Amino acid sequence: MSWPELREELDLLPGPTLPDGQPSWTLHDPVRNQFFRIDWPTFEVLQRWGQGDAGAVAADISARTTLPMHADDVTAVIQFISQNQLTRRVSADQARQMAQLWQARQGTWWNWLLHHYLFFRVPLWHPDAWLGRWQGVAAWFTSRTFLGLSAAAGALGLYQVVRQWDIFSASLVDTFNWSGLAAYGVALIGVKFLHELGHAFTAKRLGCRVPTMGVAFLVMWPVAYTDTNETWRLTDRLARLRVAAAGIATELMIAVWATLAWALLPDGSLRSAAFVLATTSWVATVAINASPFMRFDGYFILSDALDLPNLHERSFALARWRLREWLFDLQEDPPEHFAPVRERALIAFAWLTWVYRLVLFLGIAVLVYHVAIKLLGILLFAVEILWFVLLPLYREVQAWQQRWPLIRQRRRSRFTLGIVGGVIALGLLPWPGLIGASAVLRPVDSWPVFAPAGARIEAMPVADGARVAAQQPLLRLQVPDLAMRRQAALARLEGWRWQASASAFDADTRRQWLVNEERLAGAQAELVALDTEAAQLAPRAPYAGTFYRLDPDLHTGQWVTRKDKIGLLVRQGSAWLVETWLDEEAVQRVQVGDTARFLLPHAPLSAVSARVTQVEADATRVLPRPELVAPLGGHLLTREKEGRFIPERAVYRVVLSVSAQDMQASELAQHAWRGELTIHGSWEAPLGRYVRQALSVLIREWGF
C-alpha cells in the first residue's frame, strides 16, 4: 500500500479520557466541519506519519511506548484516514480512487432521491457573528438570579395550575379546533426557534463556532436544526452536555413563565396565548426532545452523560452481537468491551430503540399513505417499510450469510433452527377454530310489554318472575286525560244519536239526516278508539308464561314515557337461543351446524351446549343488544348516536339453538343471560388469517 500524505489543514485537538483510562484526541476536518475521535494507538501512528513505512512505524511505537503494534495495525489506520478523505491526492491514480470513492458514496440517482426524501437540510442563516454581538444579553438568562426567579415562577405557576385544574383542562379541550390548532402551530414554530437559539448561544459562549441554522426535513416533516458540530472541540463532556441540554432548558424556561402568566393574567387573548405557549413547550419538551430513541436532544444528552459518542450505532452493534450469540453461540468477541451492567443496559436500550422506531416508522408510513395521493402514498409507504424495517433485517441476514460456515457447525444453531421451524409449522398447520365472543341467552317465544303512551303506573298486580295464566292482567296504566276524552266523546255520541233519532219528526232536521248519521258513526269510531287505547293501558297475557320486570325500580305511581319497555312475558316451556354478533374475519370461519359452548356466569347452569342455526349474510347497521357493547362488558366496539348503538366495524348476527337437555329442569331467574360463547369453527392455519387480511387490504386499497 502506498503511503499517503496528510492534508495540511487538519487540526488535532486534545480529547477526553476514554472509559478504559487511555487518552483520546479529536481530529478536525475544517473543510467539511467534521470531527473524528481517535485513540492512543492512532495518535502514535499520526505522530510518526512522516516515516512512510508501516513496519517502521509499528516497530518504533512498540519500542518507545507500552503499546504492542504490528504493521497490520498501522495499515488499518492508513485505511481509516484514506476512507475518510483526510489525505492529499497528488497522483492520477489517487485522484481516480478519490472519484470512485465519491461516486460510491453518491450511489445511483434513485438512492440519492431516497436519501433526500428521508432526510435533507436547508440552511437559512449564518448566525455566528450575530450570536457574538448578543452574547451579553443571552448570558443573563443563564445567571443564578434568573434561574432562581424561574424556579420560584415554576413553583408558583404549577401551584396555581393544580388549584385551577378544572379551568386548565377545560381550556385544553376548548383549543381543539381549527383556530386552536393554528395557534399551536405558530407557538411551536416560535418555541423551536428559541430552542435552537438556546443551543447556539450556549455553544458560542463555550468558544465554539455556529456556522449555520436552518430547517431539516425528516420524511418531509420540517424540524429546526443548529450546526453545533464544533462542540467536539470541547474536551470536557460536561460542557458538551450543557450544549445538548440547552434547548430543553430553554423550552422549560418558556413553559415555566408561560404557565405563571396563564395563572396570573385575566381571561382574554393574552391568557389564551400564554396557555398555548405553556402547553406547547411542556408537550414538545417531554414527548419529543427528551426522547433518546431518535437523534434529538435526549439522545445527545444521554450520549454525553455516558460519554459514549455514537451511542445508537455502538449499542446496535452490541445488540446484534448478543443476538447472534443467543441464536448461534458463535463465541465471537463483542465489538466493544463494557462492564456487565453497562453492557446489559446498552443492549436493552438498543432493543427499546428498535421497537420505538418500528412503531414510529410504521405510523409515519401510514400517515404518508393517507396524506399523499393514493399512488404516491403507496410508493412512499413501500419506501418507508423497505428502508426502515426490511433493509436492517436484510443486512443482518447478510451478516449471518457471511458467518454461515461457522453457524452450521454450532449446536446452538441446530437448536435455533428447530425452534424457528416449529414456529413456522405452528403457523402453517391448521388449528382448531375456537372463536370467542360475548353473547346473550334468551327465550325464543317472548312478548314485550311497552307503554303505549306517556302514563302513570296505576297498579302492578304481578310480581317479578311470577307465573301468569292466559288473559291475566299484567299491568294497569292511567292517562289522566283519557277518561275526560272518553266522557267528552260519549257526550258527543249521545248528542248525535238524539239528533239522528229526531230527524224523522222535523222537516228541517230530516234534510240533515245523512249528515247526522255520519257524525254519529264518527263519534262511535272515536269511542271505540278510546276504548282500544284504554285496553292497551291494561295489557293481558296472550298466553301462559313467566312475567319479568325489566326495571326492578318501577313502582306504583311512577310515570313512564311512550315506548318504554316495562316487562317481558316468556311463554311457558319456550325454547331458548343464543345470539351474538361477529366481525367479518371471525364469521367466515363459522358455518351452520358448528357446535358451541355458552358459559353463564353466576347462573343455575354452568354451561349450555349450542349449535349454530343461522349466520346472517348482511351486516348489522344498528346493534339491538346493548348488553354486548364494550362499555357494558361486551366485545363489540360501537358508537352511540341518538340512543342507538352503531358498530364501528361490520358485524354479522349469529344465532345458535340451545340443547333441550341442558334447559330441561332449569329454573332461570332472568329472562336473558349474558355470558361467554365459544364456537368450534372450521380449522385454519394462524398464518393464513394474517395473509388473507393483508391481501384484502391490498385489494381494497389498490381498487381491484
Extents of the domains making up the chain: 11-106, 114-309, 335-413, 453-536, 564-703
pLDDT single digits (tens) 442-476: 888 888 888 877 788 888 888 887 888 888 888 88
pLDDT single digits (tens) 13-42: 888 777 677 888 888 887 776 778 888 889
pLDDT single digits (tens) 169-223: 777 656 656 666 677 777 778 888 888 899 999 999 998 889 999 887 766 667 7
As a whole number of angstroms, the distance between CA 56 and CA 39 comes to 20
Residue 179 vs residue 675, higher pLDDT? 675
- 654 - beta bridge partners? 580, 615
Question: How sure is the predictor about 571, in pLDDT bands with cuts at 50, 70 and 90?
Answer: confident
* 665 pLDDT more than 50: no
- Pick the range with the lowest mean pLDDT from 54-63, 100-109, 241-250, 467-476: 100-109
Say how many CA atoms lie within 13 Å of 374 toward its Cβ: 5
Residue ranges of E strands in 237-296: none
Burial class (CB in 10 A: 0-12, 13-18, 19+), 557: exposed
- 186 - beta bridge partners? none
* 505 pLDDT more than 60: no
Question: How sure is the predictor about 90, in pLDDT bands with cuts at 50, 70 and 90?
Answer: low
Residue ranges of E strands in 410-465: 431-443, 446-450, 455-459
For residue 337, the tally of other CB atoms under 10 A from its CB is 9
As a whole number of angstroms, the distance between CA 449 and CA 568 comes to 6
pLDDT single digits (tens) 72-85: 888 888 888 887 87
3-state secondary structure of 214: strand
Question: How sure is the predictor about 519, in pLDDT bands with cuts at 50, 70 and 90?
Answer: low
β-pairing, 5-6 with 87-88? antiparallel
pLDDT single digits (tens) 312-363: 988 999 999 999 999 998 888 898 888 899 999 999 999 999 988 888 777 7
pLDDT for 202: 92
